[in-house]
Amino acid sequence: MRIGVLLGGCGHYDGTDVCEAVLTFLALEEEGEKPVVMAPRRPQVRTVDHLTWDAIVGEERDILRESARLWRGRIQGLDEVRPDHLEALIIPGGYGPVVNFSTGFAKTGEKRAVLPEVETFVSHFLEQRKPIGCISLGEIPVRTILGQEIIMQAPPASPDQVRVDRDRAVVHTPGFSAWERLRDVQAGIRALVRQVLEMMADRAAGLRGPEGAQR
C-alpha cells in the first residue's frame, strides 16, 4: 500500500480513461503492489455521452462515485488520504484529470488553475521528490502546478520508452495520446510502473544513507 492512484471519474471524455486505469492496476499487481485508490469528492465539471460524444446537460455526477466504478476495492476521497503515508503517486489519463482537477482549462481569458485540494496533495510529492507517474493527460495537472507550458510532446520511438524528469522525479508515458493498440499502451504503463518503483527504491536508499541508517 505504498503507491497512490489518483482518478478523475470514469470515462475518457469526462473522467479517467478506463483502459489506462485498469492497465495501471494490472501493472502494479504484476509488481506485487496494491495501490491506494482515491479521487476528489466533488461534482464533475461536465458529463459526456460516450456513444455520441455529446455533452449531457442537467446531469450532475460526483467524481468519487464515478471513479469507484473503476476499482473493485475500497476507494477513498482525496481528503481521507495522507500523502505522507505514500511513497509515490500515479495519475492515469483521460480528460477527467484535466477538466475535473482544474478550473479555466481551454477557456478564453480565464487563467488555468489546479483545484486547491489536488494542488496541495500533488505538491507534497513534488516537494519531497517522491516519484509521480503520469499517463497521457494525467500529466496536465502536474505540469500546471509546475508552471510549465502545456505542449504535445513527440511520441517515443517505442511504446516501452518513458520520459523521465529526474530532477522532479516525474515519469510520463503517452498512453492513448500516442498509441492506439492496448498492447502498446500496456507496454508503456508497465515501463512507467517499473521506473516509479526503481525511483522509490533509490529514494529510500538515499534517505537511509550509506550506512543504512535513517537520515
134 among known catalytic residues: yes
Pairing of strands 36-39, 3-6: parallel
Separation between Cα atoms, residue 138 and residue 128, nearest integer Å: 20
Comparing CA positions, the residue from 136, 110, 114, 111 lying closest to residue 126 is 114
Catalytic residue among 3, 78, 134, 199: 134
Cα–Cα distances in Å, from 93 out to 24, 32, 69, 109, 199?
10, 23, 16, 25, 21
Orientation of helix 18-30 relative to helix 182-208, angle to 10°? 50
In this structure, are residues 137 and 94 in contact, taking their beta carbons and an 8 Å threshold?
Answer: yes
The residues that bridge with 164 in the sheet, in sequence order, are 171
List, by residue number, the catalytic residues. 134
